[in-house]
Structure 1
Amino acid sequence: MPLKSPKWRRHGLWLAFLAVIAPLGILLFLQYRTLRRLQDVSKTAQATVYENYLGAIVSEVRYFYLTRAETVLDVSSSALARQDLEEIRRDWQRADLDGVKRLYLLSNADTQRLLIFDPVTRDFETDVDLRESQSIVRGATLWVSAVSAIGDRKDSPRLRVDERDTDFRQILKPILDDRGQAIGVAGMVLDEDYVKRALLPMAIQNALPTYFQDASRNDIMLQIRDSDDRIIMGTRRTDVKGEPIRLTFPFVFRDWTLEIRGATPAPAQLLQANFALWITLSLLVAGVLAVAIALALSAAARTMQLSEMKTDFVSNVSHELRTPVASIRVFGELLRGGRVQSAEKVREYGAAIEAESRRLSDLIDNVLDFARIESGQKTYRPVPADLQPLVQGVVDIFRGRTHDSGHDLVVEMPRESLPAVLIDAEALGLALNNLLDNAVKYSGDSRRVFLRLLSSPGSVIIEVQDEGIGIPVEEQAKIFERFHRVGTGSVHDVKGSGLGLAIVQHIMKAHHGRVVVESQPGKGSTFRLQFPVARTHPANGTTTETMTARRVPIPEGEPDPRVERG
């Protein structure tokens, strides 16, 4: 059965990722919708509780004054017609007059006689406040006229509330004769102080057990406001924020408004807080799971990529090995068979065999060095040295190798001496050879390669520059990864092992230096090896820095802080 291609394996990983994330997203959406609905229902239920509580308070006030007016103001029309005040006095003296500031009678006779009863003295009084009497007469006269016009009808109102003058709020009841004609009005002036002092507190406390538990009864803010939004009375709590629930009084004190706010979290608020917590936890779990899946996908993708890169490496190395071996074999067979008679041809074939052997040796050296690096057995023996003669030696050997290729190696070195650096000469040769070899291979149509030796504060720099095909920006951080090959066609056509720059980076790390690349596609590339200057002892000028050989792992994907991109 054929193996699946890496492309299909990557697609399978993404499908697995979607198969896990999609149900999780649907679950989060359903949970969000359910919690949102529950939150709305709970909020509505809480508002209903508050409204019912306020309704119970205003209903008790309404019932108190409605029953009191129906009972106390039920004056006998015959007694009023006979002017029998004694009978009326006895009835009002026996009545419960809490919440009543005044009682009064206004006859509908020509004289319109006004009689006022004081609940405190329990008797009619003659010394009456002028403003109060005027307010009573004005309201009663209008009411008598309205009742007389309506006549004795079943739908005619029996009680009327007059609150045009809020200092003298009145409840009036017409006194009708046998023919249904109004012969007078009985009324009461409400005692506002009693309402604030006794009636409302009692109504508030009576309704509490029905709608609130013991622990939450003192945690509500209840206020009563007048038409000017002034607070008439309220509970001790005044520090509660939030949206209030309001209700007006329906019978008396109709310009007053009850307002309630919950000090403790209402069920809707508790649900909202829990809702946010649940959603946060769900998103956190989903995020952790998504990150874990993404990391697993990344690791799997990286593993597959590394496997592909190793496969390409084996293919490239196999090709690189076969090419020089084949060339050496062909030239060797020609020389052994005596087919070459010319001395010039013998030298030519001998030079080709030498060049191919050197190429084969370099490739084997790279592979062996990489193997030692991977196993942690690669060591360096740095000594203080001047880079100029070391670099010149590498240049001389490299020029001999590229003599027949037509490439021109331009070397620029300073005339003055450079500071000494701690360097392993063999490692320097390997790194510089790899950079020069890459510069030649990727020079494209150009035949010039530049090598410069520079000095900067605290470091000595070797710079290798070509005028070739260049490296795309997105590839510049990856070229130092083991087995990596630039994916663009013009670069990928050049054969190689994919180990050269990885080895260069390892050497620079081991020497506490760094490698810097600057490149633009079509304009060439510049690689800089920056070596730190060796510290010297102030007394005798000897170097004191030593370098311990250790394994420096070559990265597989992460950018290295010692590698800079231009």
Structure 2
Amino acid sequence: MRREVSEGVEESLMSKLRSFFKRHVLLVGLAAVVVPLLSIIGLQYWSLRKLEKTSIVAGTVGMKNYLGGVSSEVKMFYKSNAEQALAVPAYSVEGDNLCDLKDHFPVCKVEGAKLVFLAGFDEQGEAQTLFFNPQDLSAHASEVPPAEVRAVQFATAPLRMARKENVAMPQPMVWMEDHDPDNFVLIKAVTDDQKVVGATGMILDPAYFREVVLPTKIKESLAKYFPDGTDSNVIVTAYDEHDNPILSSQKAHGQNDEIKINLPYFYNYKVGIRSRHMTPEQWAHWNFNYSLSLSLLMTAVLIGGIVLALRTASREMRLSQMKADFVSNVSHELRTPLASIRVFGEFMKLGRVGDRAKIREYGEHIETESRRLTQLINNILDFSKIESGRKTYEFERVRLEDVVAETLKTCEVRLKQSGFSIVFQSPTRPLPAAVVDREAVAQALLNLLDNAVKYSERAEKKEVLVRVGARDGCLQISVTDHGVGIAP
């Protein structure tokens, strides 16, 4: 028993669901499309948010990487020059070779230096130092300022001490001595069997650094780290030891997101980078808003298209239902006059009517039903023509009250048979002629009269009032009955 009840409940529930889906098939279809679409939009929103955060970090990291690249290029320039130029063999500083040898260095000139020096140490740590022109390393410098001499003496002091104390140095390296901020010295020990016998080095040229090295490395790194014209949104600025700008890649103020670093060797110089138009954060926000707006716009267009398609489908379904109802109603309406014509025709054919008055009455019935049948057929034809856009109207100048009177005469017999009386109120004074399609006006009036009869069958008073008059400069036909009426 319980199983039968359960099966009945399930069947009832399934029936209700089928009925619901059938009645709301368009809403169900819309929900089936919109719900996944909104899910995709939500997922895309989450992805865009994540991309926004990643873009901010990536933009900042890219700017820092650029600064690191400039620093590495500057360091590599001086380090490679120093390692190449300062590779002096030990015999160059032994005994009289320091003064006798003409070519101590493996290269002819050194870029970025204002002086190059070579020093030989004796066992007491005393030094004999020679200065060379960096543009021609075979020529001695004629005059050396005292400040530069002191800078070299200070830089070589640890090596002279190592020579005096006979300290071993397995692998000499190039290092920086920045005691004098105006004379930075790159120095390298000259060793013989891991013992210091001398030193060689160069005093860096700040002017060459500002005018040649720094602009070149900034420009080369821009093309490397910001390819395809993306460097247009960054401004690179170099600053001197007093934090005054000495170089800028673009003449623009830019944003307040500048990142600065100190440069190698010339540590009191800085290079900074900042955004010109938008910071990485602003660009990420703009990109997020643009992408989200575009997605929402495309979604709105897609939903609009779906809604339009569903509305069109709904309209077609309603139109199909209306056609079905129309065919059903017309079929019923056609059977009624045909049945009447057939009955009256059979009576007359079988000779059951001998009275002339009765024959005339039957003839009027047949004529009335024939007119009604013609009206129905015209309705069908007009409906088909209107739907296909082939309906044409033939306008002519007529008196409207005459058209109404002729139409009422056509359906008078049928209305009387249905128990209805027609009251026609003609205008008190003649109306002006109107240019109308006679058949279209008659057809519209007949349709109104049919509705008056159809929806007034249960009315207490079966009377139809037809008026023709003028109102607000227009001619007007009105049909009044006592039925349920038509919504305005």
TM-score by length of 2: 0.49
Higher-helix-fraction structure:
2
